[in-house]
Structures are given as structure tokens and as C-alpha cells.
């Protein structure tokens, strides 16, 4: 069986279009994944705060520790 090594201009354009579509799909999936992680972290933080408040505690805010010089 003979193999072609050169592509016609139309085949080259179709290959480039497929690559662009694949890259756009990957970028969209990555963006959705990052947004999902951001939302999940926010929900976890709110959940921890609600758990603290439901226990009747008054000082539930997150304490930020500053580095000691």
C-alpha cells in the first residue's frame, strides 16, 4: 500500500482547523476546571464558617497569621 507524504492545500487547512478546534476545546475545559475549583474552595470556606456559627461560637472569622520578622 502506498502512503502519501504531501497534503493538498484543502487537507492542510482541515488539519489546521481541527488543531484549532481541539486547542479551543482544551482551553475551554481548562477554564471550566479552574472555575470549578475556585467555586469549590469558596463553598468549602463558607461551609466551615457556617459550621462554626451553628456551634454558637462568636469568633469564627479566619485568623491571618503574619510572618514573624
Has residue 36 been placed in a domain? Answer: yes
Host domain of residue 32: 11-56
Query: Which of left, alpha, beta for 4 (phi over 0: left; psi -120 to 50: alpha)?
Result: beta
pLDDT at residue 64, rounded to an integer: 63
- The model's pTM is 0.65
Has residue 26 been placed in a domain? Answer: yes
Q: What is the mean pLDDT of residues 4-15?
A: 85
Task: Select the more confidently predicted residue: 33 or 64.
Answer: 33
Q: What is the mean pLDDT of residues 3-30?
A: 90
Has residue 69 been placed in a domain? Answer: no
> How many structural domains is the chain composed of?
1
pLDDT at residue 5, rounded to an integer: 75
Has residue 5 been placed in a domain? Answer: no
Sign of torsion, CA 4 6 10 12? positive
pLDDT exceeds 80 at position 69? no
Has residue 65 been placed in a domain? Answer: no
Amino acid at each position: 500500500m502506498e502512503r502519501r507524504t504531501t497534503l493538498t492545500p484543502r487537507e492542510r487547512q482541515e488539519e489546521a482547523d481541527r488543531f484549532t478546534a481541539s486547542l479551543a476545546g482544551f482551553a475551554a475545559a481548562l477554564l471550566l476546571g479552574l472555575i470549578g475549583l475556585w467555586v469549590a474552595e469558596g463553598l468549602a470556606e463558607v461551609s466551615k464558617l457556617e459550621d462554626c456559627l451553628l456551634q454558637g461560637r462568636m469568633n469564627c472569622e479566619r485568623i491571618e497569621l503574619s510572618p514573624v520578622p
